[in-house]
Structure 1
Amino acid sequence: MKTLTGAEIVIECLKEQGVDTVFGYPGGAILNIYDALYKHKDEITHILTSHEQGASHAADGYARATGKVGVCMATSGPGATNLVTGIATANLDSIPMVAITCNVTTGLLGKDSFQEIDILGVTMPITKYNFIVKDVTKLADVIRRAFVIAKSGRPGPVLVDITKDVTAAACEYEPKEPQPIERETELIREEDMEKAIEMIKAARKPFIFVGGGAVASDAANELSAFAHKIQAPVGDSLMGKGAFDGTDVLYTGMIGMHGTKTSNLGVAECDLLIVVGARFSDRVVGDPNHFATNAKILHIDIDPAEINKNIQTDASIIGDVKIILRKLNARLDPMNHDEWLSHIERLKDMYPLRYNKEVLTGPYIMEEIYKVTGGDAIICTDVGQHQMWAAQYYKYKRPRQLLTSGGLGTMGYGLGAAIGAKMGCKDKTVINIAGDGCFRMNMNEIATATRYNIPVIEVVFNNHVLGMVRQWQTLFYGKRYSQTELYDQMDFVKVAEGMGAKAYRITKKEDVEPVLREAISLNIPVMIECQIGSDDKVFPMVPAGKPIEEAFDEIDLRIE
């Protein structure tokens, strides 16, 4: 046992938890921690982002790509509030993250002191748990508890706010081994298992809907075995991408607003919908009164609060998805649903994803990225049309390949997340797909990538508009393009080069492949601007609040 300052205890606790990388931005209140971090820079790498929001997204991306807890740091006041969007993003997508902030000294709390903010109050609705530490003797236990909470059960972000005097105070510190995280099984009831097995055996047209919970529980192997054992087609949510191999013959594509017609019709026509780690988001469900109306619904999820929250189910099993699937696999015999699978295959043939192959488009670029990377890259995205194209046209073969803001829909998420992902997975090609609107929100993080020579590739789909909002304005608002046109003097290539990156501009299809190959081979930060049409749209599409089987595409619009 030794005596350490609070700042030194923070660093020792991070080392205890196996933290090798943190993302942050210093300031007055957190100076003691940064001073202690300086003394341990050979053990913990600190990435100074261009903005605290970039730090929170980087910690999030690190967590999504590795499955470990991501860590970010910021000072008091505006430093802490700049983390808020990133914390909220992680919260809605159930990402394990610990955000460490420092506040004014204990005696100045509640006095509107310089750079004081009640960050505990601000973040209470958007964290799994949060703490303020005013006693140095409690600091180590709080940090250890924060990591346990962040990664246990349904993961999520935890904030630890520490007053500056606590970081300077000293107390005895005793190292401890990290608490092991046990998979949650106590709510898996035998009667629930029996009912589920009975429903699965009775089904003639089962369909599996996979969400992010299957990724969080590392259940890919069990899910694949389950789908093939019961011979059921599989669709996924945006957050579930990669939990089931996108090249598998049973895979039907994404479900929901921009899902495939095959998946949406599969949900509408099935007699049993098996939902694995998904929360029935409104973007998946559409009209909740007309969702899977021909089916019984079996919901498997770790969080009891999700059962019957958005959609009424017929049965549920609560617990860790990996364990539940493993138990089901052990008790089910192989099944045959050839007639149902043949019908699904006919739907795939009738309703393939389509786009204009004559010109440079987002779908074409995504297919080229898939080809050049062999389907092995980590793909990050911002939010909008490019996000949907990345979900539709890149085949994700394994979990943790697609990092994207699903619940909050955070523009500006992707580049920070890509930096975090690359720091966590240095052997993988990491590509962020952005729109020009999103790039304006996070382009400053190019400077972070070049500062540390983090070789991420930023691909900007520049259509000179806020594409997804414009798509809605075109289809539903009489082409009244209010504040969605971005025709201005911005030169993305010069901006990226000014921050030290290699930059390219692509205007025709034949340049995509050679530029991508060169960008990957350079192994430095690269920005690739791809100029595409302002009126390109994401199809299929379900109007908000409509049944998902009413998905339409350009051919349907022409018929009308």
Structure 2
Amino acid sequence: MTRQMTGAKMVVQALKDQGVDTVFGYPGGAVLPIYDELFQQNEIRHILVRHEQAAVHAAEGYARSTGKPGVALVTSGPGATNAVTGLTDALMDSIPIVVLSGQVPTFMIGSDAFQEADTVGITRPCTKMNWLVKDTKDLASLIHEGFHVACQGRPGPVLIDIPKDVQFASAQYTPPAKADLGHYQPRVKGDMETITELVEAIENAERPVFYTGGGVINSGAAASQLLRELVEATGIPITSTLMGLGAYPASGKHWLGMLGMHGLYEANLAMHGCDLMINIGARFDDRITGRLDAFSPHSRKAHIDIDPSSINKVIRVDMPIIGDVGHVLEDVLKVWKARGRKVNREGLQKWWAQIDDWKRVNCLSYKNDGPGIKPQYALERLEALTKGHDRYICTEVGQHQMWAAQYLGFEDPNRWMTSGGLGTMGYGFPASVGVQVAHPKSLVINVAGEASWLMNMQEMGTAVQFNLPVKQFILNNERLGMVRQWQELLHGERYSHSWSEALPDFVKLAEAFGAKGILAKDPGELDDAIMEMIEYDGPVIFDCLVEKHENCFPMIPSGEPHNKMLLGAASTKDAIGAKGAVMV
């Protein structure tokens, strides 16, 4: 219903009308009118974070785990600039979030007023779209348009910059049904002629592989279900990017594991040796492709993506299909069934025999022969003891992130929250806060390295204040593990600033915040300590002291193709070479 109200009240009403139940934010002078309106209502819950970067990452975690847009509210100047990392992270990983920022009054813009920054200019490269609202009568429509743009097509972050005088002034509120959503109407249906060409290729291919990404998950639960149906019906092997884990179950018989720089041996060799590569909702990230001129060199290539700018941007493909993954997969299945459900069974049988031979290399095996805890073992035990729970996993960025992707199994979409494209250290903790707010009764674990975790450690205050039982599972090697690994393998073992000599006692740190701290440093005590973490009804910092110089394998060295991998010495009988690894 159209009615007169202040701009600040419009913001809150628009959020309610968009179905928002949670806002992550931090107040400041330029958003006090909005905070005053939040105080006078009970439908929207506000989560007070300790840093604006954390507000945006928490909104990302909320969005990624629910499929709904996340919302963050920050003040002008440093509040907005602190949000830039989270906005860029969401843009790279296609996460739908709406960030509302305060701004100095319109008549002061450009005068270098207190806490003024050119927020729209600063955030233009790291948002899908942004707006500076100069008139209160436009405010409601722009917020509704912002939600539309964030969620439709390839999802992403939007920012709406709202000057303080616009918040105080009054105008007619426009409900969503009457709002002008602009001209952004992404194409969702794929070209049927190209879809039919893809089906013909599926029918004839001898060595096909599905290469899936976060676009499957972003398309919704129906898309993941259609993907599973297509894989089971055709018998074609499937691999995934880091962001696509869970779209197809890790326990599925056609699953090859993750591919890419730290992907599985069988997944990478299948990508290198296939004759038909079907990219579904992935963007040919450099951590996946390796050396471009040697990427999947023997294959015909199809690419299904809702973002036209992603098609032929990195890899030239033979069958480009612009459309929503769910709609396209539905049509692929219909055409394939109508044409008689055909595949090249003889070719597939030989292909699977080759893949099974690659699997025998057992690329994730490791030597567990030391007195301390191996990080791989810690994650194997975490998987074994938590996989029966209603579980969500977040990560920070580094070795622990790759080990988590390798050793934890994801059966469903929206259960895995990690920073893929931007690789943001400090992402996982606030993201886990957002996930826990969205799923208060679920087990939410952030797998972290001590260096990444310290970047947003202040969010323990948020977890304790709001009684969020998030578990911070820190693999503590007292090193910047991935940096140290690259320095060992690629920079002549010159360890330039890849460790800290002033780490906190994480158990005491937890207690200082009013949370629980648990220390594990012996493999024999690990299971009991993990169970103590799971059973504790509150936030936990779990300090797991692990081997300091363990490397993460498999690894495709920079500039090499998929068939040139470093494997750990335990993975092959022919392990030769230095530093516990062999090039295969």
Deviations 1:528-551 (A, max 9, x none): 000011101100001112101111
Q: Does 1:240 align with 2:251?
A: no
SS state at 1:352 partner: coil
For the 8 Å contact 2:140–2:175, the answer to whether it is kept is no
Paired letter, 1:330: K
The answer to whether the 8 A contact 2:363-2:554 is kept is: no
TM-score of the aligned structures, taking structure 2 as reference length: 0.93
Structure 1 counterpart of 2:305, one-letter code: D
Write the deviation string for residues 267-302 of structure 1: whole angstroms up to 9, x where unpaired: 111110111000001000000000100111111111
Q: How many residues align?
A: 559
Change (3 A) 1:186 1:52: closer
Name 2:334's counterpart in structure 1: 330
User: Match for residue 32 of structure 1?
Assistant: 33
1:75 to 2:75 alignment:
yes
CA-CA distance at 1:326 after TM superposition: 1.1
CA contact (8 A) 2:70 2:98 kept: yes
Give 1:307 deviation, angstroms: 1.0
What's the counterpart of residue 43 of structure 2?
43
Unpaired segments ≥5 residues, structure 1 = none
State the Cα distance separating 1:367 from its structure 2 match: 1.5
Q: Match for residue 477 of structure 2?
A: 463
Task: Tell whether the 8 Å contact from 1:16 to 1:177 is kept in structure 2 after alignment.
Answer: no
The answer to whether the Cα contact below 8 Å between 1:62 and 1:423 also exists between their aligned partners in 2 is yes
2:164 matches 1:153? no
SS in 2 for 1:141: helix
Range that drifts further, 482-491 or 532-541: 482-491
Residues 469-494 of structure 1: per-residue CA shift (max 9 Å, x gap): 00000111111110011132521211
Residue 86 of structure 1 aligns to a residue whose secondary structure is: helix
What secondary structure sits across from 2:329 in the alignment?
helix
The answer as to whether partners of 1:542 and 1:550 remain within 8 angstroms in 2 is yes
Shift of 1:131: 0.4
1:185-200 correspondence runs (5 A): 185=187, 188-200=190-202
Contact 2:141 2:174 in 1 (8 A): no
Corresponding position: 1:398 with 2:412: yes
Distance (whole Å) between structure 1 residues aligned to residue 485 and residue 295 of structure 2 = 25
Contact 2:272 2:295 in 1 (8 A): yes
Q: Helix, strand or coil: the match of 2:422?
A: coil
Tell me if the contact between 2:153 and 2:187 (Cα under 8 Å) persists in the aligned partners: no
Question: Is residue 129–residue 158 contact of structure 1 (8 Å, CA) maintained in 2?
Answer: yes
Contact 1:383 1:411 in 2 (8 A): yes
Q: 1:120 corresponds to which letter in structure 2?
A: V
Pairwise CA distance, 1:558 = 4.6
What is the CA distance between 1:499 and its match in structure 2?
Answer: 0.9
546-555 or 80-89, larger mean C-alpha shift: 546-555
Q: 1:548 aligns to what SS in structure 2?
A: coil
Indicate which of 431, 443, 450 corresponds to 2:445: 431
| Residue identity in the other structure for 1:328 | V
SS in 1 for 2:383: helix
Name the residue aligned to 2:368. 357
- CA change 1:284–1:425 in 2 (3 A) is same
Find 1:319's aligned residue among 314, 320, 323. 323
TM-score (norm 1): 0.97
CA distance in 1, matches of 2:532, 2:327: 43
Asked whether the 8 Å contact 2:141–2:176 carries over to 1, the reply is no
- Tell me, in whole angstroms, the C-alpha distance in 2 between the residues paired with 1:383 and 1:356: 24
Unaligned ranges ≥5, structure 2 = 578-584
- SS of the aligned residue for 1:444 comes to helix
- Quick one: which of 480, 505, 526 aligns to 2:519? 505
Cα distance in 1 for residues equivalent to 2:477 and 2:350? 44
| 8 Å contact kept, 1:63–1:95 | yes
CA contact (8 A) 1:6 1:167 kept: yes
Show structure 1 runs of 4+ deviating over 4 A.
Answer: 177-187
8 A contact 1:144–1:178 mirrored in 2? no
Deviations 1:427-472 (A, max 9, x none): 3210001101111101111111001111100011110110000000
- Residue 559 of structure 1 aligns with which residue? 576
| Contact 1:215–1:400 (CA under 8 A) maintained in structure 2 | yes
Deviation at 1:518?
2.0
Cα pair 1:183 1:320 within 8 Å, conserved: no
Match of 2:211 in 1: 209
Pick which of 219-228 and 76-85 moved more.
219-228
Whether 1:379 and 2:381 are equivalent positions in the alignment is: no
Change (3 A) 1:115 1:183: closer
In 2: Cα distance, 1:411 partner to 1:300 partner: 30
Contact 2:270 2:355 in 1 (8 A): yes
Shift of residue 334 of structure 1? 4.8
Equivalent residue of 1:458, what SS?
strand
1:11 is matched with 12
1:97 alignment counterpart: 97
Q: Could you tell me whether the CA contact under 8 Å between 2:189 and 2:328 is conserved in 1?
A: no
Match in the other structure for 2:272:
268
Deviation, structure 1 residue 416: 0.3
Counterparts of 2:511 and 2:185 in 1: how far apart (Å)?
A: 47
Question: Which residue number corresponds to residue 348 of structure 1?
Answer: 359
